Amino acid sequence: MQYLSELEASIRDMVQDGRGVLAADESAGTIEKRFQQINVESTEETRRCWRSLMATTPGLGDYISGIILFEETLGQATDSGDSIVEALRQQGIVPGIKVDKGKGPLALSPGDLITFGLDGLAERLQGYKRQGTRFAKWREVYSLENGAPSTHGIEANAEVLARYAAVCQSEGLVPIVEPEVLMDGTHDIDRHAEVTEKVQQAVFAALHRHHVIPELMILKPNMVMPGKDCRRARPEEVAAATLKVLQRTVPASVPSINFLSGGQGPEEATENLNGINQLPARASWLLTISYGRALQQPALMAWQGKSENETAAQQALLKRARLNHCAMKGEYSKEMEQEG
């Protein structure tokens, strides 16, 4: 493979014990909704300020090894004038990029969704790489409502994820593969486990067909949980169900499993990650995070769009990252939430 040494170096820099990935790749629509919660208008400047705040948080690199960026961020600068990409490098954080173009209905498959963006992907990746990114992320979404997902939907999404991952590796970028079985609905934890297992089986079969090297990719799956409208599961239930599915589906050669938070609150996501890492029967994977809102929300609430709140917001972000660092080691406790 042409870029084998580059891919291996990126994996070494990203897959490190006690460090995870921050998802800061919100689309224009998503970040607008986040800003509405704090009565801040989403403009290019307010988005730049928020992303600069995160990228320049002192000490963030101790707990975060990579940050997924939105395309707009690659051209933005910090308050000091450095590019945000360069600010991340200075902290030892690997810059990455979201490359999918959003989801829509899968034709002739009611209830199933599919993600767009494969056309021209290789050329886009070449441009992102020149701008300093070293990994990419692509998300496929699976609903459990109204009889979905169908077998056809599962297979179609797996094929897209595998094609994306193959293009990434061929261009020298580590692919983060994100098959998300949504938490929305009334399903119980067994139903979520059943579908998650089918999805991940299909994904790894497709990755194998497309010659994707498992040692040079990262999996970003959902935890196994009951639906939002169902009884909340205890951390030990989530941990046991999640690990059981992973052991049945994920090759041991995959170096890191970076869980998405999937709508969990900040404390809930940390608590569940801690439960997973406290289980003794684990494979060789690193079991860590690629959280977005579950890392950002406390900092966003502290910031409120005001420059005088920047230090407090950075402290809130750093605290959340540190607590998840403890959870990666199975050493988190709820009492830590009250500490400074």
Q: Where are the beta strands (DSSP E) in the chain?
A: 20-24, 64-69, 94-98, 103-105, 113-115, 135-142, 174-181, 218-219, 256-259, 286-291
Q: List the catalytic residue out of 26, 140, 171, 178.
A: 178
- Residue 340: what pLDDT? 67
Q: List the catalytic residue out of 98, 137, 220, 319.
A: 220
- Give the closest residue to 333 by CA, choosing from 277, 290, 270: 270
- Residue 232: what pLDDT? 87
- Residue 114: what pLDDT? 98
Query: Which pair of tokens denotes residue 149?
Result: 């997902």
Q: Where are the domains of the chain?
A: 4-338
Find the helix or strand (DSSP H, E) in which 74 lies.
Answer: none
- Residue 178 annotated to the active site: yes
- Residue 34: what pLDDT? 96
- Residue 138: what pLDDT? 98
Find the helix or strand (DSSP H, E) in which 266 lies.
Answer: helix 266-278
Question: pTM for the complete prediction?
Answer: 0.97
- CB-based burial of residue 129 (10 Å sphere; 0-12 exposed, 13-18 middle, 19+ buried)? middle
CATH architecture of structural domain 4-338? Alpha-Beta Barrel (3.20)
CA distances to 68, 212, 295 from 133, rounded to whole Å, are: 9, 20, 21
- Give the closest residue to 87 by CA, choosing from 62, 57, 109, 112: 57
Query: Which pair of tokens denotes residue 69?
Result: 């960026």
- Residue 1: what pLDDT? 78
Positions in the chain short of pLDDT 50: none
